[in-house]
Chains A and B, each alone.
Chain A
Amino acid sequence: MTMRALILSLALAAVALPAAAVQPDEVLADPVLEERARELSKGLRCLVCRNESIDESNAELARDLRILVRERLVAGDSDDEVIRYLVDRYGEFVLLKPTLTGSNLVLWIAGPAMLLLAGGIAAIYLRSRRRAEEPDVDSLSDEERRRLDEILAD
């Protein structure tokens, strides 16, 4: 796949490579561990892909990471330990869900803060509408009156 073809495919839609994703030979015998591996994989980014988790990607690297996650789990790591292990090696770029630390707090708080702000402004506006005086109907200009008649005539 050429660079151009890649860019072109980007130009149209969310395009990922056809995913082969988890291969049968990767699957762990223990269904509980495998389920944990799948859940973890969904939150880890395939570093060479576009916005794909390692669970969905068919890239070689994603396969290596899936196997690595499973190795750590089999070795007895907790979910947090697996994630810490990967972040130590690859940086926080590997996490599809940004951490709640430092500047990322802004990202997580932005939505709720905006909701409070917008809700506050809306509440003030609604109160002002409740108290507002009904405008004097006679203040309509002739042209406004004409338009209003047209609308009402519909």
Chain B
Amino acid sequence: MLIELGHFALILAFALSLVQSVVPLVGAHKGWRGWMAVAEPTANGQLILTGFSFAALTWAFVTSDFSVRLVVTNSHTLKPMIYKISGVWGNHEGSLLLWVLILTLFGACAVWFGQNLPPRFKARVLAVQAMVSAAFFGFILFTSNPFERMALPPFDGQDLNPLLQDPGLAFHPPFLYLGYVGLSMAFSFAVAALIEGRVDAAWARWVRPWTLAAWVFLTIGIALGSWWAYYELGWGGFWFWDPVENASFMPWLISAALLHSAIVVEKREALKSWTILLAIMAFGFSLIGAFIVRSGVLTSVHAFANDPERGTYILAITGIFVGGALTLFTLRASQMQAKGVFGLVSRESALVANNVLLAVSCFVVFIGTIWPLVAEMFWDRKLSVGPPFFDAAFTPFMVVLSILLPIGAVMPWKRGSIAKAMRPLRGALVLAFAGLALAWAMQSGNSALGPVGTALAVWLVAGAASELWLRAGNRWPRLWRLPRADWGKAVAHAGLGITVFGISALTAWQAEDIRVAQIGEPFDVAGYTIRLDSVDRVEGPNYLSTMATMTVLRDGRAVAVLHPEKRVYPVAQMPTTEAAIDNGITRDVYLVIGDRQDDGGWAVRTYIKPFANWIWLGCIVMSLGGFLSLTDRRYRVAVGAGRAPAMAAPAE
């Protein structure tokens, strides 16, 4: 019964979204206040109904209701509770329900925090947002109903893919969706502004917090996915340039560009039409990402079946929204006149350079991702585009970006000079070269990657610190009174530096050892001694494990005892590798146990991964920077709350 109610609630929410797509828009056009105001209850109603629908599905998973087809194919009574819950979005239908839930959540947030928006503009924003949610309600109801029942409920379920039964991956999709879908707000604001025909500093100020929030969530989501790949896939790779990964990376790059160009609109009333275009593209890439992931067209060109119906539907959604918005854009772009005047060397120009680099690097990722499809369609060439291409084609953009970033960050608005901008950065520059020399001297090989990466990282982090110091007028007490936005900017930029260091150090200096280890016989890898103590059979809640006990020694002292595992999930009939990792600040010791050999030994793989954790530490720091900026009172989503007497904010 609850399941049918959940389904029904979803249909009602669909109906509400259709009402909200039309009525407020007509109201805004005609100036009818009552019609415009319809958007608020409908947006809240959509959230409540979709929330109920999601809760009903979650309840079915939690109680293992095997009369629901989705529960049968993705759950099992023995599965730990956290994975019963994460199983809700561990599949196409359920994840789509999560997607629309977040979509309606953002719509409702626009109502709650948008009290200071002009009513006409707000009505248009909410109408566009409702069009997006209507499209996805239609998608889920017509092609991917999660509430389908089984005629004959089986005794037990088929279990969730064991690779997905993992804490890192349980929370990866929700964050990613908060990011993808958060960009729909930027899209709605952009389209509403195009309908109104005006883009000004106020618009940029409204749209920026939403974009920033979406970008922060995307950063966390991507980092979680990468961290999961690192410890779960059994050899410590953290990024594969896989189409599905690229699908999340492209919106990240474009939203990062959007964040920066919106600053120019806000402060200087320039780059308006470009910013609108970025807002459209950012959500467009989210939709393209959804298409890539859910249609299986790119991931499955040669290996797997795909689902043409779903793919076609998402392609249609993408085409209608992006195409429609771009048409509107070409009609209205000429009305958006830039006001700010600035010299060739200025903060504005630096931010334009940032946008060029981020947008073109996103284009490179995009063309690399779709190239196998293009080559097969037009030239009948079956080819692959893998990590070697992306490493070669994408990395230069990030190098140039990292070099320019600290200079651009200290550059004054309107007119500056490079010599003047470099003055506060002299210390950072010296440190960067010191880092280069140190890394070069310490490493054994001749690879440039490690030293250059180190230098860029030091340059970014020290550059961010120098910028704060400059803004504080070289005085300590003023440092703490700087606006949160200044801190957020510096912290996020430093976070990028930390990630750059982690990636280049890990890539350049990793040590690897593959061997057959006999129980009790120690071996040496890059300064560590590893000893295989024993291998046991262990039974888990829903799996069987071959668990090794291994001791890691350094200079004869035990550093860690690790338990790498090989698991078999009998229900899903799938083996997984559980690497054991001793996390450290300067290195991870990463152990993997393989098969038993004929001579009684075990295949063992040892990796010493220098500074691996810095990759994700940098991502955390970047998101922290984003959060700091979000809490700046100037960017408070509810700007104007202080002016509305009814909503007097507590003293800060």
Contact = CB atoms under 8 A, between A and B. Distances in A.
29 contacts: A7-B305, A8-B92, A8-B161, A11-B293, A13-B173, A14-B245, A15-B164, A18-B577, A19-B234, A19-B235, A20-B594, A21-B605, A27-B514, A50-B299, A51-B386, A92-B381, A97-B386, A97-B389, A98-B371, A98-B385, A103-B379, A107-B368, A125-B352, A126-B352, A130-B341, A132-B338, A135-B339, A147-B200, A150-B640
A110 to B, nearest CB: 5
A150 B200 CA distance: 13
B200 A154 contact: no
B342 A130 contact: yes
Given A13-B173, A51-B240, 20 more contacts: A7-B304, A8-B161, A12-B173, A13-B229, A14-B242, A19-B235, A20-B594, A23-B595, A24-B597, A43-B386, A93-B382, A98-B385, A102-B379, A107-B389, A111-B393, A118-B360, A122-B352, A122-B353, A129-B348, A147-B202
Given A12-B169, A24-B603, A118 B359 contact: yes
Nearest to A52: B240
Interface string B324-366: 0000000000000011111110001100110110011101100
Given A56-B235, A151-B205, A18 B575 contact: yes
A8 B387 contact: no
Interface string B300-335: 101111010000000000000000000000000000
B201 A151 contact: yes
A27 to B, nearest CB: 6
Interface in B518-539: none
Most buried by B among A3, A10, A19, A122: A10
Interface in A99-127: 102-104, 107-108, 110-111, 114-115, 118-119, 122, 125-127
Contacts, number: 223
Q: How many interface residues does chain B have, given as a range? A: 35 or more
B392 A97 contact: yes
Interface of B: 73-74, 90-92, 95, 158, 161, 163-164, 169, 172-173, 200-202, 205, 225, 228-229, 232-235, 237, 240-245, 270, 293-294, 296, 299-300, 302-305, 307, 338-344, 348-349, 352-353, 355-356, 359-361, 363-364, 367-368, 371, 375, 378-379, 381-389, 392-393, 397, 514-516, 572-577, 594-595, 597, 603, 605, 633-634, 639-640, 643
A30 interface: no
Interface residues of A, number: 71
Contacts of A119: 356
Given A3-B305, A19-B233, A110-B367, A12 B384 contact: no
B265 to A, nearest CB: 12
B574 A154 contact: no
Given A42-B388, A94-B384, A110-B367, A8 B172 contact: no
Given A8-B91, A21-B235, A14 B244 contact: yes
Interface of A: 1-16, 18-25, 27, 42-43, 45, 48-53, 56, 91-98, 102-104, 107-108, 110-111, 114-115, 118-119, 122, 125-127, 129-130, 132-135, 144, 147-148, 150-151, 153-154
A107 B371 contact: yes
